[in-house]
Amino acid sequence: MEQLNFLVGEWVGTSKVYENGLVARQGAAYEKISYDLDKNILVIELNTEFLQLHTIIYYDEKDQKYYYHRFSKSGASRYPAEYKDGQLIVWKDEKTRFFFVRTAEGGFQEYGELMINGEWIKNFEDTFVNTQ
């Protein structure tokens, strides 16, 4: 779990949703990320103008992989994830993935991609700076 320390903090930023390569919606975003249960889970509380999520990430020692548990008003989902090349990659399915990456400025970015006609296309991007 220590690999995910870069995500811990109280974050403010901008959320963008893309359609056909263009920004279709954009708004303010707030995210609080903290460890719980003696640093065995990472809790993410995301609030944007158009999306609210409560997410729990944990590392399963037996499986040797991360799991991303996403809760929203419309339900819950669980996806496998991996830490690779300094970023957390969440696999919703073989054609949908999310990235959590550290930025050079000390913030972090979360973005999603969809596989369309054999090419990864960005469908959302949240960029954050730490308020702490």
CATH number of residue 27's parent domain: 2.40.128.20
pLDDT at site 20 = 84
Question: Residue 83: which of 96, 70, 102 has the closest Cα?
Answer: 102
How far is residue 102's CA from residue 87's CA, in Å, rounded to a whole number? 7
DSSP secondary structure letter of residue 49 = S
**In a structure prediction context, what are the per-residue pLDDT tens digits for the chain, which is 132 residues long?**
999 999 999 999 999 999 988 899 999 999 999 999 999 999 999 998 888 999 999 999 999 999 999 999 999 999 999 999 999 999 999 999 999 999 988 899 999 999 999 999 999 999 999 997
Beta-bridge partners for 52 = 47
How many residues belong to the chain? 132
129 and 13 in contact (C-beta within 8 Å)? yes
Q: What is the pLDDT of residue 50?
A: 85
C-alpha neighbours within 13 Å on the C-beta side of residue 124: 18
The number of distinct structural domains making up the chain is 1
Residues 6+ positions from 84 with CB-CB distance below 8 Å: none
Provide the domain limits for residue 20: 2-130
What pLDDT is stored for residue 132 in this prediction?
79
